[in-house]
Structure 1
């Protein structure tokens, strides 16, 4: 499958609107993600390993904010139990349509139900594993606690929640250092200063990251008995929480 290169912000724009997961973004999303998120491939590989350990027979697995289904595919490769169904949800019709073709390219005994809906409206039931892969940061801050609590209530005992996010840091020098390292990562992957600047402007109003401490407090408030950071590269991280 040919991956189209991300050139969305490569030319000066008279007006920069809020970032949207529309068909233009969906068409270049794999390239955009791989060049923008350090450690993204490692996170996907580990999702497969986590699914092998966490998913139980006759349960459901949720990929909330599934975009093109990369996390869904990773988990499906790792699942060995029977009677498991993955429910992959995204509110972008463009993403869901492309996810369908991506999923059809790989043969598996694990069925996937693709749902075009707001993840805040989807019921979580009998879940042994739930993934929010760079999704929570796009929700309004007041909705994040409610969603994580809903996930907790819909999980089986021992169920695993995986949350991957961009982080902010309370210490200003640390924040600047991690931000600079991320910008260098994007430059090294071929993004120009214009592209970096215009995309940052587009994301300002739609992506509001939390600190690691905010995530940990949210897991505890929802009822998760344990949580831990398992991966971090610069200001990008992935966490696990266990019911």
Structure 2
């Protein structure tokens, strides 16, 4: 299975289309995400570590917005809870197809991994089974803002006592100087990872209409409104963060 370097925005485009998780993006996604999101490998691996603390026997673990299944693979590496299974859900057929291939490759390398069901579906219309662990890893920011509380409420209602939601997101900041500083540092991160000014500018244009970040306080307030009792930030690198929300 080929993994290509991300050159999607390396040549000038007459019109930059809105970003979509299509086949072209799926082909380069591992390279794109590693070079674009500071701390991404740390977040993904530790979601598996955290999941092992909350997963309960005979329950479902969800990876919602699973893309190529990096979080699902981390769950399978770290969770050994009896009779658990993972449901990985994404609405991109290109991502679902490649996710299934990656998980098949993981099956061939390891024994006694948690079973996985990969589902192509809109997570907003999903009927969630009782679950002890849910990961929304850089997914909520692509959901229309008016629908975010509805999704989080559905997750909270499905979450078993003692379970947890991990929510990872790009942040915006209410303080204008803080927002500008961390935005500039994120651009510097992308430059350091080999992206040109053209690539950075065109990718920004492609994603600005489809990804709408919230502030940390907005996330906290929304999670509490959804019925969670405690929201704990556990990771931040520049303007990217991950939170634990407890029922």
Normalised by the length of structure 2, the TM-score is 0.97
Q: CA deviation at 1:211?
A: 0.2
Q: Which residue of 2 aligns with 1:7?
A: 7
Would the aligned equivalents of 2:45 and 2:71 in 1 still touch at CA under 8 Å? no
Q: What secondary structure does 2:224 align onto? A: helix
Does 1:222 find its partner at 2:221?
no
Matched-pair contact (CA < 8 Å) for 1:62–1:131: yes
4+ runs deviating over 6 angstroms? none
Structure 1: gaps spanning 5 or more residues: none
Moved more, 199-208 or 76-85: 76-85
Partner of 2:185: 181
Kept in 1, the 8 Å contact 2:77–2:113? The answer is: no
The 5 A counterparts of 1:22-33 are 22-33=22-33
Residues of 1 paired with 2:2 and 2:126: CA distance?
32
Verify the 8 A CA contact 1:90 1:117 in the aligned structure 2: yes
Q: Distance in 2 between matches of 1:106 and 1:82?
A: 19
Question: What is the aligned partner in structure 2 of residue 113 from structure 1?
Answer: 117
1-structure distance, mates of 2:126, 2:231? 24
Distance 1:182 1:232 in 2: 13
Unaligned runs of 5+ in 2: none
Residue-by-residue CA offset, 1:71-104 (whole Å, 9 max, x unaligned): 0001111111111111100000000000000000
Query: Alpha-carbon deviations, 1:106-160, whole Å to 9, x = none?
Result: 1243111111010101111110000000000001000000000000001101111
Q: Distance in 1 between matches of 2:51 and 2:149?
A: 24
User: How far, CA to CA, are the matches of 1:63 and 1:7 in structure 2?
Assistant: 28
